[in-house]
Amino acid sequence: MTDALPLAETPLAEGTVAEGTGLARSAGALAGLKVIDLTRVLGGPYCTMILSDHGAEVIKIEPPQGDEVREWGPPFQGDAASYFIGVNRNKKAIALDLSKPAGRAVLLRLLEGADVLVENFKPGSMEKWGLGYQEVLRQQFPRLVHCRVSGFGATGPRGGLPGYDAIIQAMVGLMSINGTPETAPVRMGTPIVDLATGLYSAIGILMALQERARSGQGQYLDMTLHDCGMALLHPQAANYLLNDRRPKATGNPHPNISPYSSFRTRTCEIFVACGNDPAFRKFCAFLGLDGLPEDPRFRTNGDRVVNRDALAAILEERLSSEDGHDLSDRLLAAGLPAGPVLNVDEALAAPHTAHREMVTQLGAFRALGTPIKLSRTPGGTRAAPPSFNQHGDEVLAAHGFSEEEIAALKAEKILIEKKI
């Protein structure tokens, strides 16, 4: 890859991508970037899918037993669970036994010319295998960006310990602010820590590549679920660091803004977000509650936060006869933030979801589309998620392995053809 990230504008060759939705329409902003992906489960694979959506060549190396989320179903499509399908499109798959020296030798050959290595082994594993960044990889591949994703990092009181999304949600305080005042702490329904770690890792990798364009040197990224989960504690951490009061779960209402919550209507719940005093006055005027902003309890946002329960009772009484879907559309058209509270199936089927191509489809493959919309180099789906070791022979041949070498690797159980 060249020092500067390429902005390839050349369309994909005719016939490269079949008809579908949310498909890549260019080589991508990261065309020419080569990523070796040793990650499993979610945080790392989500990071490398982001890169692959925008043109990076991602070679996913799985262990002999495969990425365990291939089994995390139902539902399944073929032998792959939805959990795997949702975060592994556009990748080439090869399975290697890296516990054997010959497997690690193959990895080193694959790293020749690579720009990025992403792995989420337990800290110390790469070093134990003689593949530590400082001792080996930095010397052999000085331009390599090595991103390690781990639970807590290698050092500190919890250094080297395993980390999992729900455990980190509990430990960094995210569960304590989720739920209602009446419930115990509640795990967020989406694996927000894993997803955030994938996002932060992608950002960090791109930062390192940008810096490499100036220095010519790669570097090591120490990304942890702990740090990325804690980074999501806004505004609760900011509030606590200012007032020393333990944040509590508030349910749907925002801890710092009112009205900023869900309200029942005749047909559905809607969420209303009045972020400032002028918006609140406009909202009240729209609903025919012109006198409400002059009530001493509701004149400022601070007043409304203190008296949120009284305000909520008034608004729910007013909204109880409304069609929430129609009202939300009229509020949005008037410049007032509001929306119906939809179920996942309703959100995926919404017309605007289709317009934004946020459900991508290629043949039988369907998943969420990329939210990153670039004007000249749009990314998207290029290939369905790979089956186990689907590209093993192809990847090795492209890296100079002869047919005899590939056959020998299969015979020695270094290149794994079927999951163990």
The two three-digit tokens of residue 91, written as one number: 């990748």
Distance CA 283, CA 403 (A): 70
The residues facing 362 across adjacent strands are 20, 365
Distance CA 148, CA 145 (A): 10
Strands 359-362 and 76-77: unpaired
The H-or-E segment that residue 271 falls in is: strand 269-273
The two three-digit tokens of residue 75, written as one number: 């539902």
Q: 146 near 218, Cβ under 8 Å?
A: yes
Closest CA to 27 of 396, 380, 397, 384: 380
Q: Quick check: is 194 catalytic?
A: yes
Q: Which residue has the tokens 């090795």?
A: 396
Closest CA to 247 of 306, 304, 255: 255
Distance CA 205, CA 36 (A): 13
Q: 62 near 389, Cβ under 8 Å?
A: yes
Closest CA to 42 of 63, 67, 16: 67
What is the separation, in whole angstroms, between the first and last Cα of the chain?
A: 35
Of the candidates 67, 115, 165, 194, the residue annotated as catalytic is 194
Distance CA 388, CA 13 (A): 27
Q: Which residues are catalytic?
A: 194
